[in-house]
Amino acid sequence: MKTLFADPAFISLLSLMGQMFIYALCGMVLRRKKILPDQARSILTDLVMDLILPANIIHSFEIEFSLSILQKFILILIIASLAQAISMFFAKILWNKQPSNLKRVLQYSTQVSNSGFLGNPVCEGVFGAEGLMYASVFLIPQRIVMWSAGLAYFTDSTDWKGTLKKVAKHPCIIAVYIGMFLMVTQIHLPAVVETSLVKLGGCTLPLSMILIGMMMADVNMKTLVSPMVLAVTGIRLFFLPAIVYAGCLLFHVDPLLTGVSVLLVGMPCGSTTPILASKHGGDYIFASKCVFFSTLASLFSVPIWCMIMGV
């Protein structure tokens, strides 16, 4: 144990988790004190998704391009697609005995994680800019499923053509296009633009966690934990990433790709869950509890997975 706590990588991970907790706590306090009103949630969401995260993604692609990187892109897309297929399978079979308003939330929570908000900054914190680059590619299949099969859990309809258009125009996907173009062509951005991207991207983790903290502030702590909340949290944070980790070990996948894949699959329930539940007749209070508790539990599950994988 002494060796573990003397390991610089482990100390750095604990520091990252501590920062996440402090930022989330700030969000909770600011929301409960009414300093951040309820409409600030949508404003912060748009700010992170449309500006801060895309800037961080573009910067993460500024590395030397090689055939090896292209092969890793293809491999991580395959892993991500299989992970979505596995999640969809369990979402379909696990919750059939639950009431409709809970079933929708549980299915969506099993299928869609909070990788976009939380996963990207965590992967960057653990694996650096290269980890963020692969994480951005890994999330492409989830974004497609999120707005198609995921949305269908609440609406019972799927417009694949509309979904693909929506995903193709998503700011984070556009940032991937730009980043890949810069990486392949090896074009270097002007210093002032590069510095701006770095500074904007540095806001990803604080703003993401403040936003999550705001959501946590609206949850009644006395009724937070229930068997279903515990079940979906265990599936999201441990069961699904364990399957992905076992598959990566079986096929001897590169350790960096394995680490990114496991951490992203093991992210908490998607922050869009209560929003969709409220709009389409699901139990949005239960959905908020799933998001809150799984996010809180992820502060412990992420270090556990990092220790298991030796990163």
Most confident of the following: 89-93, 127-131, 149-153, 162-166: 89-93
pLDDT given at position 7: 58
- Predicted local confidence at residue 86, as pLDDT: 95
At 113 the three-state DSSP class reads strand
Looking at the predicted structure, is the pLDDT value of residue 84 above 50?
yes
Lowest mean pLDDT among 20-34, 95-109, 243-257, 281-295: 281-295
For residues 270-286, average pLDDT: 76
- The closest alpha carbon to 146, from 115, 175, 120, 123, belongs to 115
DSSP class per residue in 269-307: B-TTHHHHHHHTTS-HHHHHHHHHHHHHHHHHHHHHHHH
- What's the pLDDT tens digit per position in 101-152? 888 889 999 998 888 778 888 888 888 888 988 998 898 888 878 777 776 7
The pLDDT-based confidence of 72 (bands split at 50, 70, 90) is: very high
Q: In total, how many domains does the chain have?
A: 1
Encode pLDDT of 41-61 as tens digits.
778 878 887 888 888 888 877
Q: Name the percent of the chain lying above pLDDT 90.
A: 28
pLDDT at 196 over 90: yes
In a 3-state reduction of DSSP, which class is residue 311?
Answer: coil
**Residue 284, domain extent:** 2-309
Task: Please tell me the predicted confidence (pLDDT) of residue 1.
Answer: 42
Ordered DSSP codes for 195-242:
HHHHHHHTTHHHHHHHHHHHHHHTS-GGG---HHHHHHHHIIIIIHHH
Scanning the chain, the segments in alpha helix (DSSP H) are 2-6, 8-32, 40-47, 53-60, 67-94, 100-111, 120-145, 151-155, 160-168, 171-185, 191-201, 204-217, 227-234, 240-250, 255-265, 273-279, 284-309
Q: What is the pLDDT of residue 231?
A: 95
Residue 269 is part of a domain; what is its CATH number?
A: 1.20.1530.20
Residue 14 pLDDT > 90: no
| pTM summary value | 0.80
| Cβ burial, residue 34 (10 Å; 0-12/13-18/19+) | exposed
How far is Cα 250 from Cα 234, in angstroms, rounded to an integer?
23
Least confident range from 55-64, 95-104, 297-306: namely 55-64
With 50 as the cut, is the pLDDT of residue 4 above it?
Answer: no
